[in-house]
Chains A and B, each alone.
Chain A
Amino acid sequence: MPKDGGIGASTKRREDIRFLTGNGNYTDDINLRGQAYVHFLRSDVAHGRLNKVDTGDAEGMPGVLRIFTGKDFEGVGGLPCGWQVTDRFGEVMQEPGHPVLAQGKVRHVGDPIAAVVAETYAQARDAAEAIVLDIEELPAVVDMKAALKEGAPKVHDELKSNLCYDWGFVEENKAAVDEAFAKAAHVTTLELVNQRLVANPMEPRVAVGDFNRSTGDSTLYTTSQNPHVIRLLMGAFVLGIPEHKLRVVAPDVGGGFGSKIFHYAEEAFCTFAAKALNRPVKWTCSRSEAFMTDAHGRDHVTKIELALDKDNNFIAIRTDTHANMGAYLSTFAPSVPTWLHGTLMAGNYKTPLIYVNVKAVFTNTVPVDAYRGAGRPEATFQLERVIDKAARELGVDPIALRRQNFITEFPYATPVAVEYDTGDYHATMDKLEEIADFKGFAARRKASEAKGRLRGLGINCYIEACGIAPSNLVGQLGARAGLYESATVRVNATGGLVVMTGSHSHGQGHETSFAQVVAEMIGIDASMVEIVHGDTANTPMGMGTYGSRSIAVGGSAMVRATEKIINKAKRIAAHLMEASEADIELKDGQFSVAGTDKSVAWGDVTLAAYVPHNYPLAEVEPGLEETAFYDPSNFTYPAGAYACEVEVDPETGRVTIERFAAADDFGNIINPMIVSGQVHGGIGQGIGQALLESCVYDENGQLQTGSYMDYAMPRADDVPFYRVDHSCQTPCTHNPLGVKGCGEAGAIGSPPAVVNAVIDALQSVGKNVTHIDMPLSPSRVWQAMQG
């Protein structure tokens, strides 16, 4: 029976009411008294020397308050990078500066050169057009392999080359891996591109800076997934504002998908300019501007090799990847192709030897950083594609080949430094076979053939590392931050309570699901629990939301804080009932003394905490408010199996998704409705990557896909209804809720299924097509069929 509340119930979302009625409070809805507006003049060349920025004419234009250029930021820190990777040879990565406004050079189309602050947006835009630029255009590097050639133009003159790092993992295993390949019975090789994508949350970024001259306090309202991280990075590294004088507010945020994790120049600018002008300064990003300023995602070029023995057991994997960093290092960019990618190369399989090489490269393009899945989709895609290719080369069933190599005993230590705590990959595959109706495929293929279409079935598995992350571990790997999470539970005298969480909700429904957990723990109605997030002034220091970490890490902090509340409340209840604390039980919001009929209600205890007339003041402080910080001891490992059925029109190469099924193991689940929604959204983005989306630069570094006219976002008629299931549950063993996280699974698990399905369709009519790079546009598929 479905529950009607608490953990496991598909409770309807409380936040929906304000969003459905137009009462959300997004950053662009915030307007402060006396606010001025900034428009950024951006580079329209990919690489150039900035000889002169002449603002003379523009300064006299109507409404202009001040025009800022790189000179104004010479004494200000640059945008910091939060992760330092050490390369194969023990050297730290090359880490160039990243000024708020360009200094000396521009390095990608969209690099900000000047900022015009005016009374209105229109005036700021008009004045920007009157700025005269003298830019000496330099040859641009766009292709990663070309960027590494001797004599290639350097993105950063002060660096040795365009190589950020050359990372090997696990370096000590390299010789053993090579040896395994030398004696393999079969080796399958695949070269592929995991194309550059743009995250494209529907809400473009916005920043509003404010300064209070009488207190010296700065406030930034921004579209962020992690306001505390922005406060720390911007305050400590860019503007030199101590954290107690800086408040960062991320109110309702319209999606993030990773792109709103990072600290951006516009945030620092608005905060800086508000103080300089003593007026609030607002910036609202246009979508065209977003395409050339939001950090992009993916952009890997990879060669993967899989070695098998004569019995088709996987014996080794070797990969070689070039990963694009773009022109500057975005906040967590170096970690994505390394620790979030290399550590997942074992997938769901017991391959004993793995070696991953990644060369991160600077190019004259927008910086690349985490996008939904971040490294894990790149790992999954290459692994699941090469396994499919191996199965076809060996003439074995791709599901049987996977099953034969599944990890079946847990905990399992992979050769790439992580230990999976739980999982049951046969169970999710069994579930997939059921919900995807594999038995009916042959008949569906016949029906497609009857109307002149090719039908293919593609499957894949995935594993991801979520619940990011144990601070001491990531510290060793180069993270310049801890990755704990926090919660304060403040109980009011009349029994209602507020949870102030360091997690941030930008679509995930925390206000509903977090309340379900606390309500169940205490045994009160969820309507008595309010969830507050997104404001550094009223939430404890938290690391925010990404990496499917909110319930696994933030939820755990909330559970720990609630446990402290319950323990204290039991002491108060024991006093009120003149009983021993050890005998107090809490059930359905009622404290009782075991074995007696004595009880007091939750509200009696909360009232006593704040009106402590009859109260053990000598032993227990009044009040009922607790904070907990939770630092996970391991990652969590959601896993699953996905199936896609496509039809291909052999006349045009057009691919349509006919069926899509996902069987996931997320451990325990708080709100199944929300979890399904997360998977649906991830699948939508994964299908987008597989069939439609691609961020394209020409050889001069001009962005070819700079708006929704050119960048193909998935639309409602590009996707079918999805069949999703998360009834296979192996609870996480190391967090109190047994949860694993579900935010990225769909985006990680779906692209290989789509591509495998298209290859299956083409091979079903004897086409010798073994791979097509994404997106599988009609022209690419049609071309492949002509071979």
Chain B
Amino acid sequence: MPEVKMTVNGKPASGQIEGRTLLVEFLRENLGLTGTHVGCDTSQCGACVVHVDGRAVKACTMFAAEAEGAEVKTIEGMAEADGTLHPIQQAFQDHHGLQCGFCTPGMVMSAAALLAESPTPSEAEVRDYLEGNLCRCTGYHNIVKAILAASGQDVSRIAAE
């Protein structure tokens, strides 16, 4: 089996893989980074979103071999080493942007990619960007609110709680 090497959350990572091994399988099974989730098999749900060389990617839609030499960032790499949450993670907690938590890693990674592209997005822009991330718990209300808040915008006018 061929070997693949990449940098994951700032650390070198490698493993022997079959050609058909998906990036998400490599992260979860080989590296034990189980924060990246698999919620579908048609690249629709976005629970597996990670960053590859700074771009949001569905890790179920990319072979691990394609990430050879890449810089990969997963949800495990978002908080500070001392446990301080990333501002997007903190906003999700502050605004109850998660319930069961299964879609959450993908939501946070997508939100980070959005805010990197567009630091103060409109509500419509946030909703449009989340087209590829499904959540079944929140009705999206508090996810959208949390992302707007993480971008530094005033969300106090949005219906309370």
Structural contact, A16 and B44, CB atoms closer than 8 A: no
| A positions within 8 Å CB-CB of B | 10, 12-13, 15-24, 26, 28-29, 31, 122, 200-204, 252-255, 257, 284, 286-288, 506-509, 672-677, 680-685, 687, 707-709, 713-717, 719, 721-724, 746
Tell me how far the C-beta of A654 lies from the nearest C-beta in chain B, rounded to whole angstroms. Answer: 16
A484-B35 Cα distance, complex, nearest whole Å:
35
- Chain A residues, Cβ within 8 Å of B160: 676
A257-B18 Cα distance, complex, nearest whole Å:
37
Tell me how far the C-beta of A638 lies from the nearest C-beta in chain B, rounded to whole angstroms. Answer: 17
- Chain B residues, Cβ within 8 Å of A31: 29
A681-B137, A722-B159 given; A22·B105 CB < 8 A: yes
Interface membership of B82, Cβ < 8 A: no
Tell me how far the C-beta of A699 lies from the nearest C-beta in chain B, rounded to whole angstroms. Answer: 25
Structural contact, A716 and B143, CB atoms closer than 8 A: yes
A20-B93, A202-B39, A708-B40 given; A721·B144 CB < 8 A: yes
Q: Residue on B with the closest CB to A289?
A: B41
Tell me how far the C-beta of B12 lies from the nearest C-beta in chain A, rounded to whole angstroms. Answer: 19
- Chain A residues, Cβ within 8 Å of B36: 22
- Chain B residues, Cβ within 8 Å of A10: 161
Structural contact, B139 and A685, CB atoms closer than 8 A: yes
Structural contact, A707 and B34, CB atoms closer than 8 A: no
Tell me how far the C-beta of B141 lies from the nearest C-beta in chain A, rounded to whole angstroms. Answer: 4
Interface membership of B76, Cβ < 8 A: yes
Proximity string of chain B (14-53) to chain A, C-beta cutoff 8 Å, 1 when within and 0 when not: 0000101000000011000111111111101101000000
A-B contact pairs, 13 of them (CB 8 A): A13-B93, A19-B104, A20-B85, A20-B92, A22-B76, A26-B37, A203-B39, A509-B99, A684-B140, A716-B140, A721-B145, A722-B141, A724-B159
Residue in B102, B104, B123 whose Cβ sees the most chain A Cβ within 10 Å? B102
A675-B130 Cα distance, complex, nearest whole Å:
24
Q: Residue on B with the closest CB to A12?
A: B93
Judged by DSSP, the binding face of B is loop
A87-B152 Cα distance, complex, nearest whole Å:
60
A252-B142 Cα distance, complex, nearest whole Å:
21
A682-B128 Cα distance, complex, nearest whole Å:
21
A509-B97 Cα distance, complex, nearest whole Å:
12
Tell me how far the C-beta of B96 lies from the nearest C-beta in chain A, rounded to whole angstroms. Answer: 5
Residue in A16, A20, A284 whose Cβ sees the most chain B Cβ within 10 Å? A20
Task: Give the residue of B45, B105, B127 whose beta carbon is less than 8 angstroms from that of A716.
Answer: B127
A200-B35 Cα distance, complex, nearest whole Å:
20
A23-B35, A24-B35, A673-B161 given; A717·B131 CB < 8 A: yes
B51-73 contacts to A, CB under 8 A, are: none
Further contacts, 14 of them, CB under 8 A, given A20-B108, A716-B143: A10-B161, A21-B76, A21-B83, A21-B89, A24-B101, A31-B29, A122-B20, A202-B47, A202-B137, A255-B100, A287-B39, A680-B138, A684-B136, A716-B140
A375-B99 Cα distance, complex, nearest whole Å:
24
Interface size bracket, B side: 35 or more
Structural contact, B144 and A716, CB atoms closer than 8 A: yes
Tell me how far the C-beta of A674 lies from the nearest C-beta in chain B, rounded to whole angstroms. Answer: 7
Structural contact, B44 and A709, CB atoms closer than 8 A: yes
Tell me how far the C-beta of A12 lies from the nearest C-beta in chain B, rounded to whole angstroms. Answer: 6
Q: Residue on A with the closest CB to B130?
A: A716
Structural contact, A202 and B100, CB atoms closer than 8 A: yes
Q: Residue on B with the closest CB to A255?
A: B100
Structural contact, B34 and A26, CB atoms closer than 8 A: yes
Tell me how far the C-beta of A551 lies from the nearest C-beta in chain B, rounded to whole angstroms. Answer: 15
Structural contact, B100 and A288, CB atoms closer than 8 A: no
Task: Give the residue of A287, A713, A721 whose beta carbon is less than 8 angstroms from that of B41.
Answer: A287
Interface membership of B151, Cβ < 8 A: no
A674-B99 Cα distance, complex, nearest whole Å:
9
A200-B47 Cα distance, complex, nearest whole Å:
13
Q: Residue on A with the closest CB to B135?
A: A202
Structural contact, A202 and B103, CB atoms closer than 8 A: yes
Task: Give the residue of B92, B98, B139 whose beta carbon is less than 8 angstroms from that of A746.
Answer: B139
A716-B131 Cα distance, complex, nearest whole Å:
6
Interface membership of B126, Cβ < 8 A: yes
- Chain B residues, Cβ within 8 Å of A28: 34, 37-38
A321-B91 Cα distance, complex, nearest whole Å:
46
A674-B139 Cα distance, complex, nearest whole Å:
13
- Chain A residues, Cβ within 8 Å of B76: 21-23
A687-B75 Cα distance, complex, nearest whole Å:
30
